[in-house]
């Protein structure tokens, strides 16, 4: 008896009495009688063993079969007429003159990476109206927008979440709303071929809650292989396609979620869900934990590589700081200031234990005429043995460069390694890999000032901070009208005629 995957179906090959091979297929798991007879062969040909179904023909009429022990034969078996071996070829021997195409039908035959089975996932939106009705609405005057993707009247997540009124879906098999369940065997690697035809944007996230460090490995994008890389989740937008590898090495007595959420516009429908079903568990056995939360629809920094200062990546707000602070428009940026230090036990010589960062627009508030000391401590990036040089530039001031040093700044460095006699006065200074730089300036210039790495892409990726200095003295600062004419202050200017 052999067990194999045929397409997305489980396939059971039984060698019964001599010369008889029976192949069963499980098209839908969870039915009362899940196994269908695919074909049964009684023929002297079938003294060959093993026999292995490899693929369906596009019309489902024929199945490609591999037979043989040492010399293998590929042959199409016609399921409707029971005709054996239409168009069969030897592929590890020689049958005669002709042209034969040996091409991938199963698993690894042509791809440069190993896997045991594969699934095709086409992501699309669910609509209650037909495309013709939608088209008619868009063509009408006035135009009727098609609205947001809709949902069926039940949800797999209903018993886990409180924001849907839909009933809990149960998977008995054959329901119209039943998702495409991915049946897998434990400890195998599967290729997911993903394509998106959604109107909006989609996001795929697999949940393997008990697997520390679980990843999807991206191996192909839009028909081209890529240097494989690991991701926790994946953005896939309309028209795009990817292949990812997943390995079913979780606790095998559980099933696991696969979740898809909307990206790029505010969603009004719950995430789409299906189940990674570890056989022989029933597919109707839902995972024990709630579905994974997909990242927020408007978290545009998600999956971008970021730089951070004390684990905050600077994201400049749409409204310039100066006007918002002077006129107290508190909603225009984060009112919580960034932390003034990092954990004392932070290992600057190795990649961070926490590879994620928090995006923020908060500011450091400085009292007027205070003396400010900054220790810029450079650490290891996300990659092993990598730390980079950054030239830091301060607006509105010059600063004294009190010192440089290797490794992690210590109290002893502060006592002995700073030049307090005749330090150079600059407005830009470097931090070197795995090193620190000590800077000092006097906050004597009321305003809002950026302090950031002057490598433009680095600033874009969050490596900067903002000082709000002497804010109580801002009443006497005249702000150019152009600096108030966008974002939240623009509305205020229009109402109050602040020009």
Under rule CB under 5 A, residue 263 binds Cu ion: no
Q: In terms of CB distance, is 440 or 458 closer to Cu ion?
A: 458
Q: CA 419 to CA 494: how far, in whole Å? A: 51
CB-CB contact of 405 with 430 (8 Å): no
Least gap, CB of 417 to Cu ion (angstroms): 24
- 455 near Cu ion, rule: CB under 5 A: yes
Yes or no: say if 387 and 434 are a contact pair by the CB < 8 Å rule: yes
- Burial of 8 from C-beta contacts in 10 A (0-12 / 13-18 / 19+): middle
The residue (of 257 and 392) whose beta carbon lies closer to Cu ion is 392
315 near Cu ion, judged by CB under 5 A: no
The 3-class secondary structure across 113-160, one letter per residue, is CCCCEEEEEEECCCCCCCHHHHHHHHHCCCCCCCCCCCCCCEECCCCC
* Side-chain half-sphere CA neighbours of 38 within 13 A: 27
Q: Does 452 bind Cu ion (CB under 5 A)?
A: no
Give the list of residues 6+ apart from residue 65 with CB closer than 8 angstroms, or none: 51, 52, 53, 54, 74, 75, 76, 77
Task: Give the burial class of 51: count Cβ atoms within 10 A of its Cβ; 0-12 exposed, 13-18 middle, 19 or more buried.
Answer: buried
Size of the site for Cu ion (CB under 5 A): 4
In terms of DSSP bridges, do strands 312-314 and 35-42 run parallel, antiparallel, or are they unpaired?
Answer: unpaired
**In whole angstroms, how close is the CB of 385 to Cu ion at the nearest point?**
18
For Cu ion, which is the closer residue by CB, 62 or 390? 390
* CB nearer Cu ion, residue 39 or residue 392: 392
Q: Measured from the CB of residue 6, what is the shortest distance to Cu ion in angstroms?
A: 53
What letter would DSSP give residue 458? Answer: H
Nearer of residues 157 and 461 to Cu ion, judged by Cβ: 461
Distances (CA, A) of 330 to 108, 200, 246, 324, 471: 58, 33, 45, 7, 13
Could you say which residues in the range 11-50 bind Cu ion, by CB under 5 A?
A: none
191/390 with CB nearer Cu ion: 390
CA gap 250, 248 in Å, rounded: 6
Taken in order 410, 411, 417, 418, the sign of the CA dihedral is positive
Q: Which is nearer to Cu ion, 322 or 453 (CB)?
A: 453
> Which x/- pattern, by CB under 5 A, does the window 192-211 give for Cu ion?
--------------------
Residue 72 or 460 with smaller CB distance to Cu ion: 460
CB of 434 to Cu ion, least distance (A): 15
The correct pick among 279, 402, 418, 453 for binding Cu ion (CB under 5 A) is 453
Contact string (CB under 5 A) for Cu ion, positions 377-416, x = contact: -------------x--------------------------
Q: Provide, rounded to whole angstroms, the least separation between the CB of residue 374 and Cu ion.
A: 16
Residue with smaller CB distance to Cu ion, 188 or 458? 458
**Which ranges in 267-365 belong to alpha helices (H)?**
321-326
Q: How far is the CB of 383 from Cu ion (least distance, A)?
A: 15
Residue 369: cis peptide before it, omega within 30 degrees of 0? no
Residue 458 in contact with Cu ion, rule: CB under 5 A: yes
Nearest distance from residue 386's CB to Cu ion, in Å? 13
The CA-to-CA distance between both ends of the chain, in Å, stands at 84
* Beta carbon of residue 270, minimum distance to Cu ion (angstroms, whole number): 41
Beta strands (DSSP E) in 264-382 are 272-278, 312-314, 358-360, 364-366, 371-377
Nearer to Cu ion (CB atom), residue 67 or residue 453: 453
274 and 179 Cβ atoms separated by less than 8 Å? yes
**From the CB of 392, what's the least distance to Cu ion, in Å?**
8
Chain positions 82 to 101 lying near Cu ion, rule: CB under 5 A, are none
Report the nearest approach of Cu ion to the CB of residue 401 (Å). 17
Smallest separation (angstroms) from Cu ion to the CB of 388: 6
- Which tokens hold the place of 36? 């269908």
375-395 burial code (b ≥16 CB/10 A, e <16): bbbbbbbeeeeebeebebbbe
Choose between 245 and 453: whose C-beta lies nearer to Cu ion: 453
Neighbour count for residue 56 (Cβ, 10 Å): 18
Interface positions with Cu ion (CB under 5 A): 390, 453, 455, 458
């Amino acid at each position: 008896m052999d067990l194999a995957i045929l397409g997305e179906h489980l396939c059971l090959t039984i060698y019964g009495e001599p010369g008889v091979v029976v192949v069963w297929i499980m098209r839908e798991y969870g039915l009362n009688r899940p196994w269908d007879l695919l074909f049964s062969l009684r023929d002297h040909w079938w003294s060959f063993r093993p026999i292995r179904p490899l693929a369906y023909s596009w019309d489902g009429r024929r199945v490609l079969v591999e037979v043989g022990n040492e010399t293998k034969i590929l042959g199409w078996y016609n399921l409707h007429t029971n005709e054996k071996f239409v168009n069969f070829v030897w592929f590890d021997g020689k049958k005669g003159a002709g042209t034969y195409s040996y091409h991938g039908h199963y698993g690894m035959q042509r791809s440069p990476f190993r896997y045991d089975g594969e699934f095709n996932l086409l992501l699309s939106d669910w609509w209650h109206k037909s495309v013709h009705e939608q088209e008619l609405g868009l063509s009408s005057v006035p135009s009727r927008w098609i609205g947001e993707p809709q949902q069926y009247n039940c949800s797999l997540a209903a018993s886990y979440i409180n924001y849907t009124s839909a009933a809990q879906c149960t998977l008995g098999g054959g329901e119209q709303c039943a998702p495409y369940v991915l049946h897998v065997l434990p400890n195998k690697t599967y290729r997911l071929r993903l394509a998106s035809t959604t109107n909006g944007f989609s996001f795929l996230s697999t949940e393997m809650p008990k697997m520390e460090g679980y990843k999807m490995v991206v191996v192909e994008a839009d028909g081209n292989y890529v240097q494989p890389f690991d991701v926790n989740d994946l953005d896939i937008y309309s028209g795009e396609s990817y292949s990812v590898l997943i390995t079913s090495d979780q606790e095998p007595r559980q099933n696991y979620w696969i979740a898809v959420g909307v990206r790029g516009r505010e969603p009004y429908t719950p995430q789409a869900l299906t189940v990674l079903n570890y056989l022989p568990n029933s597919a109707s056995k839902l995972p024990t934990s709630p579905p994974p939360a997909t990242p927020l629809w408007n978290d545009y920094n998600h999956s971008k590589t970021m730089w951070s200062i004390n684990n905050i990546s600077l994201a400049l707000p749409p409204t310039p700081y100066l006007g918002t602070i002077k006129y107290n428009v508190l909603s225009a940026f984060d009112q919580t200031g960034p932390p003034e230090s990092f954990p004392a036990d932070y290992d600057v010589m190795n990649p961070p234990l926490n590879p994620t960062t928090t995006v923020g627009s908060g500011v450091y508030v400085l009292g007027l005429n205070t003396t400010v000391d900054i220790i810029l401590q450079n650490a290891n990036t996300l990659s092993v043995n990598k730390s980079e040089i950054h030239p830091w530039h301060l607006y509105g001031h010059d600063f004294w460069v009190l010192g440089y040093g290797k490794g992690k700044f210590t109290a002893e460095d502060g006592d002995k390694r700073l030049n307090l006699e005749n330090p150079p006065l600059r407005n830009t200074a470097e931090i070197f890999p795995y090193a620190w730089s000590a800077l000092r300036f006097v906050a004597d210039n009321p305003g809002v000032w950026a302090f950031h790495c002057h490598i433009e892409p680095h600033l874009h990726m969050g490596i900067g901070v903002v000082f709000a200095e002497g804010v109580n003295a801002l009443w006497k600062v005249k702000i150019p009208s152009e600096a108030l004419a966008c974002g939240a202050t623009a509305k205020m200017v229009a109402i109050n005629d602040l020009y």
